[in-house]
Structure 1
Amino acid sequence: MKLKELSQRGGVPIPTIKYYLREGLLPKGDPLGETKADYGDRHLDRLRIIRSLVEIGEVPIAVIRQILAAVDDETVPATVLLATALSALGAGPSSDAAPAGDRTGAESLIAGQGWQVSPGSTAPDQLAAALGALRLVGLPADAAQLAPYTRAALEMAGHQLPLLPDPARREEFAARAVIGAVLYDRLLLALLRLAKENISMRRDGR
């Protein structure tokens, strides 16, 4: 298909497709001359993945490039690909930016659960930042207080991950991991707020 048809079928303007091509997010088409190229279903599939990451996942282009690089590298195992995709939800602060006590607290919490974390994952940094924020405002953040959260997180992760496609379908696997995490996180936050309102209303006898 020509660029115009790729734009129409993918629902992405031609200038945006050209930008993705320049950025290396979308592979070049088969040349038909000096200024024209032919595009196939693989280009359409990749374009839809990029669009979903941008529009639904709200993932920056630079991070999408990292995800797609991991997708295209067949030597990257599925576990690392998943960690790379999930890290797209927010790189968070550097581990060096968090106070030593908060970094230690995050590491202890993870170790206490017996959880295994992929190399390069940003989740421990995000956890350290969250623990630091709780500490600064005087809210409890020790392992005992956080136990219900860790149990709920493990249960939700165990429920969500089987919903992902076969890791062999690497592009779809990575995109669904990001998009699913975004949407389910929003769902979980809404349900948590509703549950709090429900408990409060019942306590007030309404």
Structure 2
Amino acid sequence: MQLKELSGQSGVSAASIKYYLREGLLPAGETVHATRAQYSAKHVERLELIQALRRIVGLNIEQIRGLLKMADDGAPRLTVLAAVQRVVLHLDTAAASGDRPTPAADAVVRLRNWPDYPSDARNALNVHLELMESLHIPVTRELLDTYSKAMDDVAGLDIAVTTAPDSVDQLILTAAVGMHMHSQLLLKLLALAQASHAIRRYEEDA
């Protein structure tokens, strides 16, 4: 298909497509002659991914470029998923001190029998637990057990869905959108649960 057809099929304006081509986010089409190129279904798929990362997840061009480069370079899926998680959940904002293990984080790993493996997620948890400790907010073993059990169940469902696609572009799409929307869903469900418990506890006093 030509540029006009690619625009019509993807719903992305010709100007935006040319911008993505210039920025290296979209691979060049197959040259027909000096002023014309042919595009394929792969270009439609890539445009769908770019639009979702920008509009739904809210990533900037540099963040998108980093993820797409990993896809184009053939990075292992575990590495790609870790990068998606880092930018979507803002784990890259964790302080450098996060690579220092904390007893609470180690306890979670043992409770759930999770791989004792360094990651941005592990670092971010260390940073957060250190912050809670500095604010004298207690994090008991019972609390860690309850929270981590719930998250273990949720994460199992999430990863089963996000690792299904054969295409790396589709893997990034489902992982990024899924992590973003599911994390928001969890927060909204938690808010509703908290509100419901508060209503039960205090409605008689109203």
- Category of TM-score, reference length = shorter chain: 0.7 to 0.9
Compute the TM-score of the two structures, normalised by the length of structure 1: 0.84
What percent of counterpart residues are identical? 32
In structure 2, what is the Cα distance between the partners aligned to 1:11 and 1:62?
A: 22
- Whether the 8 Å contact between 1:49 and 1:171 is mirrored in structure 2 is yes
Q: Which moved more, 1:161-170 or 1:176-185?
A: 161-170
What CA deviation, in whole Å up to 9, does each residue of 1:57-104 have, x standing for no partner? 112222222222222233x3322222222222124335525595xx53
Aligned residue among 152, 155, 160 for 1:154? 152
- Whether the 8 Å contact between 2:53 and 2:59 is mirrored in structure 1 is yes
Once superposed, which parts of structure 1, at least 4 consecutive aligned residues long, lie more than 4 Å away? Answer: 97-100
What is the 5 A alignment of 1:103-122?
103-105=101-103, 108-109=106-107, 111-112=109-110, 113-116=112-115, 121-122=119-120
What is the 5 A alignment of 1:177-196?
177-196=175-194
Residue 174 of structure 2: aligned partner: 176
Residue 66 of structure 1: aligned partner: 66
Q: Give the helix-richer structure, 1 or 2.
A: 2
Residue 85 of structure 2: aligned partner: 86
Residue 54 of structure 2: aligned partner: 54
Task: Indicate the RMSD between aligned Cα atoms, in angstroms.
Answer: 2.5
| Residue 171 to residue 99, structure 1, CA distance change in 2 (3 Å) | closer
| Residue 52 to residue 27, structure 1, CA distance change in 2 (3 Å) | same
- Whether the 8 Å contact between 1:53 and 1:178 is mirrored in structure 2 is yes
Q: Which moved more, 1:192-201 or 1:55-64?
A: 55-64
- Whether the 8 Å contact between 2:91 and 2:120 is mirrored in structure 1 is yes
Unmatched runs of 5 consecutive residues or more in structure 1: none
Count of aligned residue pairs for this structure pair: 202
| Residue 171 to residue 51, structure 1, CA distance change in 2 (3 Å) | same
Compute the TM-score of the two structures, normalised by the length of structure 2: 0.84
| Residue 148 to residue 168, structure 1, CA distance change in 2 (3 Å) | same
Unmatched runs of 5 consecutive residues or more in structure 2: none
Q: Helix, strand or coil: the match of 1:87? A: helix
Q: Helix, strand or coil: the match of 1:31? A: strand
- Whether the 8 Å contact between 1:92 and 1:125 is mirrored in structure 2 is no
Give 1:129 deviation, angstroms. Answer: 2.9
In structure 1, what is the Cα distance between the partners aligned to 2:122 and 2:70?
A: 20
Residue 40 of structure 2: aligned partner: 40
Q: Helix, strand or coil: the match of 1:64? A: helix
| Residue 116 to residue 165, structure 1, CA distance change in 2 (3 Å) | closer
In structure 2, what is the Cα distance between the partners aligned to 1:9 and 1:205?
A: 54
Give 1:117 deviation, angstroms. Answer: 6.8
